[in-house]
Amino acid sequence: QQQVKQSPQSLIVQKGGISIINCAYENTAFDYFPWYQQFPGKGPALLIAIRPDVSEKKEGRFTISFNKSAKQFSLHIMDSQPGDSATYFCAASSGSARQLTFGSGTQLTVLP
């Protein structure tokens, strides 16, 4: 049972544009919502995370927006660069279950 739904599956953006990846969840027991970035041949790496009582968190060009009532959250990459080309995974952490549930991933390509 997929508890975190991610879209789009793939995304192509021009250099300097804004990349937006969306995720939706069902389980209200999730207590943290991290994003991971994975380059080819590498394991995923934690990018940024947000708590459900915060509506937005920004780190450099990366921003998470969180809508608790809609049970949705999204990653915005401002001024996208070719070096941002990677697969991005949203996830949800459950303190009680003590595990991460991942979305299916978005393959981002930033064209030069």
Partner 1 sequence: EAGVTQSPTHLIKTRGQQATLRCSPISGHTSVYWYQQALGLGLQFLLWYDEGEERNRGNFPPRFSGRQFPNYSSELNVNALELEDSALYLCASRSRRAPYYEQYFGPGTRLTVT
101 binds partner 1 (CB under 8 A): yes
6 binds partner 1 (CB under 8 A): yes
Q: How far is the CB of 94 from partner 1 (least distance, A)?
A: 8
> Taking CB under 8 A as the rule, which mask of x and - marks residues 39-78 in contact with partner 1?
--xxxxxx--x-----------------------------
Give the three-state DSSP class for 69.
coil
Strands annotated E in 1-111: 4-7, 10-14, 19-25, 33-38, 45-50, 56-59, 62-67, 72-77, 86-94, 99-102, 106-111
10 binds partner 1 (CB under 8 A): no
**Contact by Cβ (8 Å): 17, 11:** no
97 binds partner 1 (CB under 8 A): yes
Tokens coding 53: 């009582």
Binding site for partner 1 (CB under 8 A): 6, 9, 32, 34, 36, 41-46, 49, 89, 91, 93-95, 97-105
